[in-house]
Amino acid sequence: MSVEKMDKKKTLDLRKKHIGPSCKIFFSHDPIKIVQAKGQYMYDENGQRYLDCINNVAHVGHSHPDVVKAGAQQMELLNTNSRFLHDNLVLYAQRLQATLPNKLSVCYFVNSGSEANDLALRLVRQYRGHKDIITLENAYHGHVSSLIDISPYKFHQLSDAEQNQSVHVAPSPDVYRGKYRANHPDPATAYADDVKGIIDKAHEKGGKIAAFIAESLQSCGGQVIPPVGYFQQVAKHVRKAGGLFIADEVQVGFGRVGSKFWAFQLQGEDFVPDIVTMGKPIGNGHPMSCVVTTKEVAEAFMTSGMEYFNTFGGNPVSCAIGLAVLDVIEKEDLQGNALRVGGYLTNLLEKQKEKHALVGDIRGCGLFVGMELVRDRLKLTPATAEAQEVIYKLKEQHILLSADGPHRNVLKFKPPMCFSTEDADLVVEKIDHILTEIEAALGLKSSNLLSVENDSGKRKLPTDENGHQSQNGSVHSRGSGQRAHEQTKQSKRLRS
């Protein structure tokens, strides 16, 4: 079964020699070489199977035969750019549009989430000639220069002078760790009012708001689920200022949240963004992405007089693959599976919260679930090293999970959508054992749970953490503490 071309050491040596050192690798002290994958499983060069809990890109399952076939068949026939008339382009645009509210009817096909968000910025800046962008604390929207500018997840490492002065950062609408928590009478309004305050300040300085951009659920930001009503109120303030609302669905779209096809729809029927950007799952691993907007925004873009041309965007192969992905989601009821299995997983994790003092919060929608580890449920001290320990121990047991958020203490589940209840049982059982071991080493007792319970248990909508600085801690356990500390420093993040 092995399809490796050289032994692992040689692969690693060549990678060190020829690949840029900023391109990080998972588990850098002992990387995994994956040579094959199927469904929710990945296989290394020795045929060892890993349960994949992190690859939301392989949305309908790794190497899904229908997707592979659609791509191969179209490649045999033709692949070219979108200046030629082709059925796949328009059929796919029509099909994608059918999943969205009517007013979102115009598509631009591009090749990565970054390209999609970069184009979205061009659209909003052309719309009224405004320049200022409001983004959320801890947000990540892509790797190109224009997006590093609006990604505090990255730009907090830059000096003030290097940061773009027309970018404004609003608090993450995090009701667990954020500025307004679950015990606040109306966190949605409070967080939206902060956006209004930012708009007013920008106006005072002569700025004009082009857009507010947010992931419909913050992913790298720590699996944050905004309180219902927040987006509606933000959209009202932003539109009044002549700006637009961009919903970044690069991580969370295409049915992942279970109850809806798009995560922004969790806010309610009355909320429709002006622009939706898509990526990762859209091609199940094939590099494609899309920006969908309104006729009005598209027409304003046209007034620049500049042609928009993209060599690969919307090519017949990408569109064939995109169509196959939508077919599989429907045929295999993967959105329904996300709802059922995601609910099952969340329930299992909630039980872990009852059992383990280290578990501060469980929040999730469908197969997008976060488990936040804290050392103290009142102070919400991030259990960063412990989260890394869980991940490394899981890897030893051939389960791939990652941690994210500003403190890297949120274990995040975003597996291929064919994830099963058996998979959920397996990973949670392993986490249970690992947490028991770590807590024993730390001398934490589950019987303390009630006394350390904070009011997060009362809230309706769980969310996640904020803050800018990663507080690397160490596990004071026999032997594992130093290792966990080193791993925390080393591992940084395991984001796809």
Ligand X SMILES: Cc1ncc(COP(=O)(O)O)c(C=O)c1O
- Which residues are at the interface with ligand X (CB under 6 A)? 112-114, 117, 140-143, 215, 219-220, 248, 250-251, 279
d(CA 284, CA 60): 7
Decide: residue 163, CB within 10 A, 0-12 exposed, 13-18 middle, 19+ buried.
Answer: middle
d(CA 394, CA 33): 16
Q: Which position has the token pair 């760790």?
A: 177
Least distance between ligand X and beta carbon 109 (Å): 14
- Nearer residue to ligand X within complex by CB, 194 or 248: 248
- Nearer residue to ligand X within complex by CB, 114 or 480: 114
Least distance between ligand X and beta carbon 250 (Å): 4
- Are 152 and 138 in contact by the 8 Å Cβ rule? The answer is yes
Task: Give the Å distances, CA to CA, from 167 to 114, 148, 197, 276, 402.
Answer: 17, 11, 14, 20, 29
Q: Which position has the token pair 């791993």?
A: 487
- Nearer residue to ligand X within complex by CB, 151 or 233: 151
d(CA 11, CA 231): 46
Least distance between ligand X and beta carbon 289 (Å): 6
- Nearer residue to ligand X within complex by CB, 416 or 481: 416
Least distance between ligand X and beta carbon 258 (Å): 19
**Concatenated DSSP letters for 277-332?**
EE-GGGGBTBS-EEEEE-HHHHHHHHTT------SSTT-HHHHHHHHHHHHHHHHT
- Nearer residue to ligand X within complex by CB, 112 or 463: 112
Q: Using DSSP, state whether 369 is helix, strand or coil.
A: strand
- Nearer residue to ligand X within complex by CB, 116 or 374: 116
Least distance between ligand X and beta carbon 153 (Å): 9
Least distance between ligand X and beta carbon 352 (Å): 26
Which residue in the shown chain puts its C-beta closest to ligand X? 113
Least distance between ligand X and beta carbon 252 (Å): 8
d(CA 360, CA 95): 41
Least distance between ligand X and beta carbon 322 (Å): 15
Of the candidates 329, 130, 160, the residue with the CA atom closest to the CA atom of residue 241: 130
Alpha-helix residue ranges (DSSP H) falling in 316-420: 316-331, 334-355, 384-396
d(CA 323, CA 69): 12
- Nearer residue to ligand X within complex by CB, 111 or 456: 111
List the structure tokens of 180: 């307004």
- Nearer residue to ligand X within complex by CB, 115 or 386: 115
Alpha-helix residue ranges (DSSP H) falling in 58-178: 65-77, 87-97, 113-128, 145-148, 152-155
